[in-house]
Every structure is written in structure tokens, then in C-alpha cells.
Amino acid sequence: MTRIEKIFKRVNEIGADCFVSFDNSDMLYFTQADSEGILLIIEQKTFIFANKLSYDSIINQKPHAEVIQALHGVKSLQEYLIENKIHSIALDLKSTSAFNLETLRKNFEIKDATDFSKQIRIIKEQSEINSIKRAALIARNAFTKVYSMIKIGISEKELQGELDYQMVKHGAQKSAFETIVASGVNTSFPHHKPTDKKIEDGDFLMIDFGACVDGYNSDCTYTFLVGKRTDEERDFYNALFYAQTFAREFIAPNRTKAKDIDKRARDELAKYGLDKYFIHSTGHGVGLDIHELPNIDLSNDTLIVPNMVFTIEPGIYIPGKYGVRIEQTILVKENDVEILGYAPFMEII
């Protein structure tokens, strides 16, 4: 079954006439066009409504869709749907602005198709897996060039800039997201933005980064202890290391649920009294979006099956002191999992 057939099967199930998405990742997935626009799927026909600025760029990409110049944005789409006697639209409400929703609601019945495309994208095709693997390898190889720079006195921003440069130099389209480099007390903030702070003796150093290749992303986090270390810091790190390792090794394809993986990580940290400092989910899907399905959290009953790609990234953050996060992107296979872009940098601890 093709991607278009899969999405339209879901559209038929809810009794809608067409599928509309304002999500650029959906457009890339269904048409191979990497740009901004509005995606419309009517049975086996796919359309892209593009504004003046993106129209020529999309045409040059030779997408698997008919490209229509939308001079008036969503109103051009509205006019087209009325002309073609469309009555109901399957719409992903998460990716639809209030303005676009209200515009379409005036003339059409809106059927909730939230996450329909994301649920299809949750199982990766081999071409997608290949792109994610390349992204992971590029990120790893870039980091090997930066690894030797980790020393007392270098700033967070310097490491961030060099890592971003090396990823592009090694073949990435761009960084998958804004690279996080945090040291010392800054590691207690999960999404810290790099500053001019210099790494000091005894600092934890957390680096969270990824590359984007063919529109697909990778994601990993390393945490190091630079210079002198205490027994408390070593034990703190090791507890998190065990939680991440055991959560990953706990996965049994076609038997384990997402919430079970999350629970395994939390149970391990609870042995050390550190589970209260674990303030986010254990992982998330990775693909065209850096955060997509499946969510690896305590509320998710999704069964883990082959060709899913997601992160395992427990973290513990003690306010005003320090934090540790270890993250790997993994590919679920028939009988086990594969770490993508693996490198043994954690041995520094």
C-alpha cells in the first residue's frame, strides 16, 4: 500500500472527502517537495498549493503532485474545493492555525484527522531509515572532530559553533535543531541555550545535537565530566547510565509497549532516589520531525514494532547543581534494536 493509499484509507474511515495538511513535513513525506505550502489529497490525486515565493522552487523539485499557485493562501484552496464540490475535510488540527481552521469551517464540515499522517510515518520505510542512519553517522563523525576540543577554558558557544560547522562540512543539510551545549550548573536546565560560560574543572558537560539529511533527522546527547570528579558525581552519572542502558535493553519488539520502556528507566533511577529529578519523558520518535511519534512516556500504550525509530534519553536534573542526560537514537529491528551512529564517548566518565 502506498503512502497516499494509507492516508486516504484513514480519510475514508472518518467519512471525509479529502485530506488537507499545513504541515511541511507531511508535504515532504507525501510529495517529496521540501518547501512551504498546503497539501491536498483527494483519493489518488495529490496537490500542493504554493505561494508566489515557493512556487518555482517546488516546481523545480519535480514533486509527486500537481502544483497550484495559491495567490490568496488558504482562500485559494477554499475556492478550489468549492469548485470541485468537496463537502468535508479531514484536517490535522494540531498543525492548523486558528485562522485557517475558521476559514475552512465556513464552507466545509471539518473531520478531526489529528496525527493521521504521523501514525503512518511512525513505521519507517527503508529509504527513510537509510537517511536517518546517514544523519546519525554524519553527526557522530562531526563530533569526533570536536571531541578533542573539550577542555577546561573553552566556552559553550565555541563548542556549539564548531559542532554545527562540522556537521554541515560532513554532509548535513543543517543541524537538526539548535545544538545544546551546557556546562556546570547549566546542565540542570534540559533545554539550556549555549552561552559564553567557559568549562571549569569538575564541570559536567552536556552536548545534545543532531544532523538533518534528506529532510530526516538524528538526535543524541553525550554528557561528560571534565577534570576532577567526586564519588557523588560518578555515582550520579552511573545511575543515569544504567537507567538508559536497561531501558534500551528492555525493548522486545512486538511485545513491549512505549510506557513499559519509560517505566523501566524510572524504576532504575528510583533505586538511587533520583526518579524525582527525571522531569521529562524517556524518548520520542525521530524522522522528518525531530519530535514525532511514538512518544516514550508512561501514558502511551503504543506497541513497539520493527522499523520504528525513537530516542532513549532519560535525564536527571538537580536544580542549582547539575544534570546528566544520555540519549541514543535507536532503530527497532525484528528481534532487537540498533543504536544509530553509536560512538563510545561516554567512556570518559
Distant-in-sequence, close-in-space partners of 3: CB < 8 Å, separation ≥ 6: 29, 30, 120
CB-based contact 110:32 (threshold 8 Å): no
- Prior bond to 63 cis, omega within 30? no
- Boundary (domain end) residue, out of 60, 94, 121: 121
Instruction: Check whether residue 169 and residue 40 sit in a common domain.
Output: no
Strand 204-209 and strand 174-175: the pairing is unpaired
Instruction: Check whether residue 15 and residue 64 sit in a common domain.
Output: yes
- Boundary (domain end) residue, out of 61, 95, 121: 121
Distant-in-sequence, close-in-space partners of 335: CB < 8 Å, separation ≥ 6: 253
CB-based contact 294:262 (threshold 8 Å): no
CB-based contact 66:97 (threshold 8 Å): no
Instruction: Check whether residue 141 and residue 19 sit in a common domain.
Output: no
Q: pLDDT 10s per residue in the chain (349 long)?
A: 899 999 999 999 999 999 999 999 999 999 999 999 999 999 889 999 999 899 999 999 999 999 999 988 999 999 999 999 999 999 999 999 999 999 999 999 999 999 999 999 999 999 999 999 999 999 999 999 999 999 999 999 999 999 999 999 999 999 999 999 999 999 999 999 999 999 999 999 999 999 999 999 999 999 999 988 888 998 999 999 999 999 999 999 999 999 999 999 999 999 999 999 999 999 999 999 999 999 999 999 999 999 999 999 999 999 999 999 999 999 999 999 999 997 765 444 4
For the chain, what is the domain count? 2
Instruction: Check whether residue 237 and residue 147 sit in a common domain.
Output: yes
Give the span between the Cα atoms of 256 and 264, in whole angstroms.
11
Instruction: Check whether residue 60 and residue 186 sit in a common domain.
Output: no
Instruction: Check whether residue 209 and residue 263 sit in a common domain.
Output: yes
CB-based contact 269:275 (threshold 8 Å): yes
Q: Which three cell numbers stand for residue 50?
A: 504554493
Q: Decide: residue 271, CB within 10 A, 0-12 exposed, 13-18 middle, 19+ buried.
A: exposed
φ/ψ region of 202 (left if φ > 0, alpha if ψ in -120 to 50, else beta) reads: left
Instruction: Check whether residue 131 and residue 97 sit in a common domain.
Output: no
Distant-in-sequence, close-in-space partners of 283: CB < 8 Å, separation ≥ 6: 261, 262, 295, 296, 310, 311, 312, 313, 327
Give the span between the Cα atoms of 346 and 349, in whole angstroms.
6
CATH number of the domain within which 56 lies: 3.40.350.10
CATH number of the domain within which 299 lies: 3.90.230.10
Instruction: Check whether residue 156 and residue 183 sit in a common domain.
Output: yes
Instruction: Check whether residue 109 and residue 173 sit in a common domain.
Output: no
- Boundary (domain end) residue, out of 86, 121, 156: 121
Instruction: Check whether residue 109 and residue 60 sit in a common domain.
Output: yes
End-to-end CA distance of the chain: 48
**Enclosing domain of residue 244:** 126-348
Instruction: Check whether residue 42 and residue 11 sit in a common domain.
Output: yes
Instruction: Check whether residue 116 and residue 170 sit in a common domain.
Output: no
Q: Decide: residue 138, CB within 10 A, 0-12 exposed, 13-18 middle, 19+ buried.
A: buried
